Amino acid sequence: MPHLKIEYTANLDAHADIGELCKTLSHTLVTLKDAAGALVFPLYGTRVLAYPAAQYAVADGEQGRAFVYLNMRITPGRSPELVQVIGDTLLASARDYLAPVLDKLPLRLTLHIDATPPGYEGKFTN
């Protein structure tokens, strides 16, 4: 963990390289440090995945509208203050990357962080 899932309107593909957004947000996560200077997330547990919505309606359904929904799952145990820092940092990183799009499309950028214990966790690595 963390696993960050990006859902976005497919009309953004013409205006932004979403693969690069994934890399940008991954870099943000794996370099984030807490107040003591320790890395917040493990390098090899970090995942950023993006899924375009080919069919969508945003607000009133006008075709020029766009959204980016970031949903991150993290394991519980971090303080509310640290989760706030994580959220603020990640949202700022996404906003900065998408800044050129803001002049072209009305865009809603949302981040939701879920800190829930896993019901089951199994791992395999070769």
Mean pLDDT, consecutive 10-residue stretches, the chain (126 aa), reads 97 98 99 97 96 94 93 95 98 98 94 90 83
Location of structure tokens 């859902």: 7
Question: Of 53, 49, 48, whose CA–CA distance to 11 is shortest?
Answer: 53
Residue 70 has a pLDDT of 99
Give me the pLDDT at residue 109, please.
98
Q: 10 Å Cβ neighbour count for 27?
A: 13
Q: Which two tokens stand for residue 4?
A: 């960050």
State the Cα–Cα distance between residues 119 and 31, nearest whole angstrom: 28
pLDDT score, position 117: 84
The domains located in the chain, with CATH, are 9-115 (3.30.429.10)
Residue-level pLDDT at 80: 96
pLDDT of residue 46: 97
- Tokens standing for residue 30: 């794996």
The per-residue pLDDT for 101 is 96
Given this model, what pLDDT does residue 110 score?
Answer: 98
